[in-house]
Amino acid sequence: MTTYSAVVTTGIYCRPGCGSKPLARNIRVFENAAAAEAAGFRACLHCRPYRVAGPIGSDTPELVCRAVRMIIDGALDHDGTEAALAERVGLSARHLRRLFLQHLGASPDQLARSRRAHFARRLLDDSDLTVLDVAFASGFGSLRQFNRAMREVFHASPTDLRNRRRKADRLVADGGLTLRLPILPGYDWSAIRAFLAARAVPGVESVEEETYRRTVTLDGAPGLLEILPGTADHLLLRAHLPYWYGLIHVVDRVGQLLGLDTDQATAATELRGDPRLGLLVRLRPGLAVPGTWSPFEVAVRAVLSRGREAGEATSWLGRIVRELGTPVPGLPGELTHTFPDPATVDAARLTGLGLPAGAASAIAAVATAVCGEDTPLRHGARASELAEVPGLDPELAQLIAYRLGDRTAFPAADPALKAALTELGVTRDLGGQPWSALAATHLIRHGDTLRPPSQGVHNGQLA
C-alpha cells in the first residue's frame, strides 16, 4: 500500500522515495493523502504525491468501501451531503464519519475534496484545458469552490499551480485529451489487457497490441477511450469525449474497469500461503481484479453465457450491439457502435433478434432494474443484493458481482475458472472470503491459458 510521510516541522507530506531526509522523530505516516491533508499538511512540490496511486486497501471494511465508491460516483458533488451518503449505506452521518476517520483518517467530505483537488492538479499539469474547464471537469460546482479547495489543499491558486508545471508535464496527443492514470508498482497491465481482450464486446471494445479501446456514451453522446502503456507508475488514458464536464467520473470509471481503485496487497498475502493458489499469485503478483465500465454490459454477458460456449455468447453480444446499439462511424479498429441503452432494450426486441425467450426475458428484467432509481446493479454491489434482481439467480449474481467490485464474490460458473480449478485439482469452496475475487482472477487468468481463444465472431458477423 502507498503511504505518505508528513514532516511536522515543515507542514509538508511526501510520497515514498522523495529525496528529502527529515529526522525520524519529525515524521508522521499516513495511509492516504486525504488523511495527511485533513491533519493540516500540504503536498510536496518536489515529489508531487498527487501523481501516485492511492487506492483503498482490500482490508478496509465493506461499508467504508461502499461509501467510497459512492463518493467516486459523485455522491458528494455539488449538493451532495454526508447525511445523504450515510442514509444510502444505512448508517447515521455521525457513525459513517467516525468509520471514515478510523479507517481512512479523513471524513467523507475531506476525502471527496482531496480527490477532486488532486485530479484538478493533474489536469493543470498535464493538459492545456482552461482553469474553468479544469474546475468543472474535476467535479467542482463553481469556480469559487474550486479556487477555495485548491488553496486549502495546495496553498496556491489554480493559476499559480498551472504556472509551476514542468516542461515535460504536458502530454501531447493527436486529438483527444491524454491523461496519466496512476498505478501501483508492479501493476500487471498485460494480464488485465488479456482478460479484457478475451471478453471484449464486439463493436464496443477492442484490444490491438498494447492498446485497449472502447466506445462510451455520455448523456446520449458517443465517445472513445483508449488506454495505453505508460511508465512504471502510470498508464495513459486518451479520451475523445463530447465535453469535459465531469471528466473525473469518466476517469474513475476507467479506474474501476482496470481494478485501480483497490490495493490487493492484503488479499494477495492471504493467498500466497495456499499450496495451489500461492503459485499463481507468485507468478503474477501485480494482478488486480478487473471491473467493468457498465453494470448493464456485464449483466447481459452473464445472462448470455448461461449454458453457452464462449463463442456463442460473444456472437449474441455482437448481434445485440449491431441491432440495438448506436452506430458510430469512423472509429479505429473494429469499433462500430456504443452498447445499447438499457432504456431501449425490451423482451420483444430481443426475441425479434432470435434470442431464446428465457434469455430475452432475463435481459429485459435487468434492463428495467438498471433504469430504476435505487438499482442494486451498481459498482460495489454484493452478490446477495444482485440475486434479488428479477431475471438473476445466485449463480448469475456471483458472475456480475465479481466484475462490480464485490471482493467476496467467486464466479464459479465462469468456464475459465472451472478449467483452472479442474487442472489444479482444487475442490474446496473459495467463495465468501475477503480474497475470493482476487483468487478468482488468478484462476480465470490461468484458465484462459488452458482454453482456445473464443470463436464465433469474424468481422462482426456470426460464425
Retrieve residue 416's grid coordinates: 475459465
Asked if residue 171 belongs to a domain, the reply is no
The residue-averaged pLDDT of 428-435 equals 91
Asked if residue 173 belongs to a domain, the reply is no
Write out pLDDT tens, residues 193-216. Answer: 999 999 999 999 999 999 999 999
| CA distance linking residue 278 with residue 442, whole number of Å | 10
| CA distance linking residue 331 with residue 274, whole number of Å | 45
Asked if residue 168 belongs to a domain, the reply is no
| DSSP secondary structure of 312-374 | HHHHHHHHHHHHHSEE-TT-STT--EEPPPGGG--HHHHHHTT--HHHHHHHHHHHHHHTSTT
Neighbours of 282 (CB within 10 A): 11
Of 163, 188, 219, the last residue of a domain is 163
Retrieve residue 111's grid coordinates: 476525502
User: Whose CA is closest to 34, among 135, 114, 117, 138?
Assistant: 114
The answer to whether residues 9 and 135 belong to one domain is: no
Asked if residue 133 belongs to a domain, the reply is yes
Residue 462: is its pLDDT beyond 60?
no
CATH number at residue 84: 1.10.10.60
Eight-state DSSP code of residue 201: P
Instruction: Specify the pTM.
Output: 0.90
The residue-averaged pLDDT of 227-236 equals 95
Residue 452: is its pLDDT beyond 70?
no
Q: What positions carry a catalytic annotation?
A: 14, 414
The answer to whether residues 228 and 373 belong to one domain is: yes
Q: How confident is the model at residue 77 (pLDDT cuts 50, 70, 90)?
A: confident
Write out pLDDT tens, residues 23-44. Answer: 889 999 998 999 999 999 999 9
Q: Are 423 and 404 in contact (CB under 8 A)?
A: no
Write out pLDDT tens, residues 133-178. Answer: 999 999 998 999 999 999 999 999 999 999 988 877 777 556 789 9
| CA distance linking residue 377 with residue 388, whole number of Å | 10
Q: How confident is the model at residue 455 (pLDDT cuts 50, 70, 90)?
A: very low
Asked if residue 352 belongs to a domain, the reply is yes
Write out pLDDT tens, residues 85-127. Answer: 999 889 999 999 999 999 999 999 999 999 999 999 999 998 9
The answer to whether residues 210 and 98 belong to one domain is: no
| CA distance linking residue 241 with residue 209, whole number of Å | 23
Asked if residue 91 belongs to a domain, the reply is yes
The residue-averaged pLDDT of 386-415 equals 94
Q: 111: domain range?
A: 58-163
The alpha carbon torsion through 382, 220, 138, 64 (nearest 10 deg) reads: -10
The answer to whether residues 46 and 65 belong to one domain is: no
Q: Are 436 and 408 in contact (CB under 8 A)?
A: yes
| DSSP secondary structure of 19-39 | S----GGGEEEESSHHHHHHT
The answer to whether residues 304 and 420 belong to one domain is: yes
CATH number at residue 250: 3.30.310.20
Q: Name the domain count of the chain.
A: 3
Asked if residue 329 belongs to a domain, the reply is yes
Q: Are 75 and 378 in contact (CB under 8 A)?
A: no
What confidence score (pLDDT) does residue 174 get? Answer: 60
Asked if residue 172 belongs to a domain, the reply is no
The answer to whether residues 418 and 456 belong to one domain is: yes
Write out pLDDT tens, residues 293-316. Answer: 999 999 999 999 988 887 889 999
Residue 2: is its pLDDT beyond 80?
no
The answer to whether residues 378 and 285 belong to one domain is: yes
The answer to whether residues 289 and 401 belong to one domain is: yes
Q: Bigger pLDDT: 447 or 166?
A: 447
The answer to whether residues 212 and 94 belong to one domain is: no
CATH number at residue 8: 3.40.10.10
The answer to whether residues 147 and 216 belong to one domain is: no
The answer to whether residues 132 and 193 belong to one domain is: no
The answer to whether residues 335 and 238 belong to one domain is: yes
